[in-house]
């Protein structure tokens, strides 16, 4: 890709990689108590699932960050102040205590209340754990062999304490960030299978969640309720909250209004009178609202990628612009079990050659004017200094048509040239042959599917198609609704959701155009992405060495998980199991920059895209 000259072209490292967010520093004007703040939703990105025990289908940053965790606080809160660490002042639990050689974990709860007057207690943790044990296959964070499979038993010695007894020792940081992080207490008022009769109370014996059949019925009841968005605001179930906000209304168009929870026992307490999430059909519609009505109409918005040239005008109208890089990686999968191309995609050399066709820095500079972070491996480069090591911080496969062509030719492919379609001339498993399962004469021409209306992703795949064609790799581009693109990428590998012989396994490459943010597991090991059968293993990846390295990170002696993480990420960088692409600020917008009204103070970036409007203040 030819680079354009740009005054911002080199700022990705200083601004995006460092992710210089807007800290909640000194207020710039007198604070007005109350008032309503308006937040622009991304196109098609209205929150639509309220139940904290969300499945893979509903496990989105929009549902989690803009709905669930505003109302229902998790055991531990992560990502405030542009850091991936735990913020214990926002958390329901005190720091966990590990004992018995890190095989026993004791957690004491802070003093929080539900809005129905009940205390948040270990009984609410028990409700969650009972559901986790019974319905683990429905939980979006579930990976076979990990939580809760690795828990031998749980005890509840007091109303404020629970104890996990583990089957083996785990690194305390890893276990806290990736397993305790999954827990959200559920109010006993929800422990029911219908809306008839009074709400249950913690003192009642024989509640449904105490048996496997009962908790399965409770899960179905709550899940079914959660699919009916129109009933959320008047529901006697969802109105029982322990977070700083209550849901006042939600419309069919996706407008969501929150008001402060007067019973909130945490800190800080909201200053705003209300928060409104405003839906827009397109990014252009949201930006037109910014340009026409200004910061009085939308206090938090975003700058669509096609409007980066208007940065200065937007700033002059009363917005601060922050180049926000979340703790995320962006990539798209190749179906390693496609009946025709799976054998080719399974060749490490092919994935490495294909990576050389991805002009990451060209895209960062030309397509988004520097407002992005490259992705070189399975660990986020932002926030800087958190998790990525030196090896992953540099591109192992820089854009090079010559390198891509050389790799293919060295492995038995001919017609590796512009205007041609490369085909396998030397099948076999030798070092200069096409690889196991690749048939003689196979042509490298396959479909790459992408979401319609996603400008950045469309520009990326169009450029990738042009570059690939220079080395005889033909990409047949199609577009569908983003939901369809995501749904098409089913795991056809070991433990996956579809058999390789199923028609569902005919997909080849699905680029859904959004980053993978590490929620609800915040330590960026790959068990949820690359472990066989994991919810996020769309490509069907299975690699014994990778499995060993992931397990070693989890079970490392206390304090050594970081060293194991480095070994894991360096191996995956070399293996290139998926096609890594630059990471932008947002899922599923994505957007290049956030716009914050100069009338709004107290806003700060959460690197996992969890909103904290309780810290926001309108100024006069």
pLDDT of residue 1: 59
Task: Name, in order, each residue with C-beta under 8 angstroms of 507's C-beta and a sequence gap of 6 or more.
Answer: 335, 338, 447, 449, 488, 489, 490
User: Which of 173, 192, 222 is the last residue before a domain boundary?
Assistant: 222
Confidence tier at 20 by pLDDT (50, 70, 90)? very low
- Residue 119 belongs to a domain: yes
Could you report the per-residue pLDDT of 502-554, keeping only the tens digit for each? 999 999 999 987 778 888 889 998 888 999 988 889 999 999 999 999 999 89
- Residue 36 belongs to a domain: no
pLDDT of residue 303: 76
The total number of structural domains that make up the chain: 2
3-state DSSP call for residue 447?
strand
Higher pLDDT, 276 or 317: 276
| Residue 3 confidence (pLDDT) above 60 | no
- Residue 559 belongs to a domain: yes
- Residue 293 belongs to a domain: no
**Pairing label, strands 445-451, 509-510:** parallel
Name the residue among 298, 189, 215, 378 with its Cα closest to residue 618. 298
Q: Which of 60-64, 131-135, 334-338 has the lowest mean pLDDT?
A: 60-64
3-state DSSP call for residue 140?
coil
| Residue 592 confidence (pLDDT) above 70 | no
- Report the distance separating Cα 338 and Cα 124, nearest Å: 44
3-state DSSP call for residue 245?
strand
Could you report the per-residue pLDDT of 342-380, keeping only the tens digit for each? 999 999 999 999 999 999 999 988 887 777 889 999 999
**Pairing label, strands 36-40, 274-278:** parallel
Under 8 Å between Cβ of 191 and 218: yes
Name the residue among 3, 1, 13, 2 with its Cα closest to residue 370. 13
pLDDT of residue 317: 86
335/215 same-domain check: no
Percent of the chain with pLDDT over 70: 93
Q: How many CA atoms lie within 13 A of 145 on its CB side?
A: 13
Tell me the residue range of the domain where 499 lies.
328-358+444-581
Residue 253 in tokens: 């168009």
What CATH number does the domain containing 345 carry?
3.10.105.10
Task: Name, in order, each residue with C-beta under 8 angstroms of 126's C-beta and a sequence gap of 6 or more.
Answer: 154, 156, 162, 209
Q: Which of 10-24, 64-78, 203-217, 587-601 has the lowest mean pLDDT?
A: 10-24
347/478 same-domain check: yes
- Residue 55 belongs to a domain: no
- Residue 508 belongs to a domain: yes
- Residue 153 belongs to a domain: yes
Could you report the per-residue pLDDT of 34-51, keeping only the tens digit for each? 899 999 998 778 999 999
pLDDT of residue 27: 38
215/338 same-domain check: no
User: Which of 222, 247, 270 is the last residue before a domain boundary?
Assistant: 222
214/334 same-domain check: no
Task: Name, in order, each residue with C-beta under 8 angstroms of 613's C-beta and a sequence gap of 6 or more.
Answer: 37, 39, 70, 245, 258, 270, 272, 275
- Report the distance separating Cα 609 and Cα 347, nearest Å: 35
Task: Name, in order, each residue with C-beta under 8 angstroms of 527's C-beta and a sequence gap of 6 or more.
Answer: 143, 146, 178, 521, 534, 550, 554
| Residue 30 confidence (pLDDT) above 60 | no
- Residue 507 belongs to a domain: yes
What CATH number does the domain containing 105 carry?
3.90.76.10
Could you report the per-residue pLDDT of 437-490, keeping only the tens digit for each? 999 999 999 999 999 877 788 999 999 999 999 999 999 999 998 879 988 999
User: Which of 566, 581, 596 is the last residue before a domain boundary?
Assistant: 581
């Amino acid at each position: 890709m030819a680079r354009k000259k740009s005054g911002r072209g080199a700022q990705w490292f200083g601004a995006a990689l460092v992710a210089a967010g807007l800290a909640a520093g000194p207020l710039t004007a007198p604070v007005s108590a109350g008032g309503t703040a308006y937040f622009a939703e991304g196109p098609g990105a209205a929150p639509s699932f309220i139940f904290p025990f969300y499945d893979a289908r509903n496990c989105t940053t929009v549902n989690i960050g803009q709905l669930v965790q505003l109302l229902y606080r998790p055991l531990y809160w992560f990502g405030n102040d542009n850091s991936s660490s735990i913020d214990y002042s926002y958390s329901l639990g005190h720091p966990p205590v590990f004992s018995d050689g890190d095989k026993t974990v004791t957690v004491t709860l802070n003093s929080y209340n539900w809005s129905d007057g009940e205390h948040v207690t270990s009984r609410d943790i028990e409700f969650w754990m009972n559901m986790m044990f019974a319905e683990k296959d429905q939980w979006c964070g579930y990976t076979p062999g990990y939580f809760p499979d690795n828990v031998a038993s749980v005890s509840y010695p007091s109303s404020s304490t629970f104890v996990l007894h583990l089957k083996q020792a785990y690194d305390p940081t890893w276990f806290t960030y990736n397993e305790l992080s999954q827990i959200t207490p559920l109010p006993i008022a929800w422990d029911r299978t219908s809306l008839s009769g009074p709400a249950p109370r913690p003192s009642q014996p024989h509640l449904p969640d105490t048996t496997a059949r009962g908790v399965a019925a409770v899960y179905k009841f709550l899940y079914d309720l959660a699919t009916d968005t129109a009933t959320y605001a008047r529901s006697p179930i969802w109105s029982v909250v322990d977070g700083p906000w209550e849901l006042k209304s939600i419309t069919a168009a996706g407008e969501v209004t929150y008001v402060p929870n007067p019973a909130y026992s945490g800190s800080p307490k909201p200053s705003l009178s209300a928060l409104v999430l405003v839906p827009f059909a397109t990014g252009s519609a949201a930006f037109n609202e910014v340009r026409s009505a200004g910061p009085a109409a939308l206090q938090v918005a975003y700058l669509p990628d096609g409007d980066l040239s208007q940065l200065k005008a937007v700033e002059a109208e009363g917005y601060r612009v922050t180049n926000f890089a979340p703790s995320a990686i962006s990539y798209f999968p190749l179906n390693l079990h496609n009946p025709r191309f799976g054998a080719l995609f399974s060749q490490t050399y092919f994935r490495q050659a294909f990576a050389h066709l991805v002009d990451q820095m060209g895209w960062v500079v030309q397509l988004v004017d520097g407002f992005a972070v490259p992705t070189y491996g399975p660990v986020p480069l932002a926030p800087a200094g958190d998790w990525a090591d030196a090896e992953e911080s540099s591109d192992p496969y820089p854009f090079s048509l010559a390198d891509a062509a050389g790799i293919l030719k060295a492995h038995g492919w001919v017609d590796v040239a512009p205007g041609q379609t490369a085909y396998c001339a030397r099948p076999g498993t030798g070092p200069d042959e096409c690889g196991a399962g690749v048939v003689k004469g196979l042509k490298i021409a396959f479909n790459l599917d992408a979401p319609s209306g996603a400008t950045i992703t469309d520009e990326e795949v169009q450029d990738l198609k042009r570059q690939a064609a220079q080395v005889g790799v033909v990409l047949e581009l199609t577009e569908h609704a983003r939901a369809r693109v995501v749904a098409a990428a089913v795991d056809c590998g070991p433990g996956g959701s579809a058999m390789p012989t199923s028609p569902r396994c005919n997909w080849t490459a699905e680029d859904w155009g959004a980053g993978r943010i590490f929620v609800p597991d915040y330590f960026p090991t790959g068990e949820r992405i690359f472990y066989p059968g994991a919810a996020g293993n769309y490509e069907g990846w299975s690699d014994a060495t990778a499995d060993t390295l992931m397990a070693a990170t989890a079970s490392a002696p206390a304090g050594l998980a970081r060293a194991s993480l480095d070994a894991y990420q360096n191996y995956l960088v070399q293996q290139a199991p998926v096609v890594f692409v630059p990471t932008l600020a947002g899922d599923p917008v994505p957007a290049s920059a956030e716009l914050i009204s100069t009338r709004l103070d107290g806003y700060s970036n959460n690197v996992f895209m969890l909103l904290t409007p309780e810290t926001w203040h309108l100024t006069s």
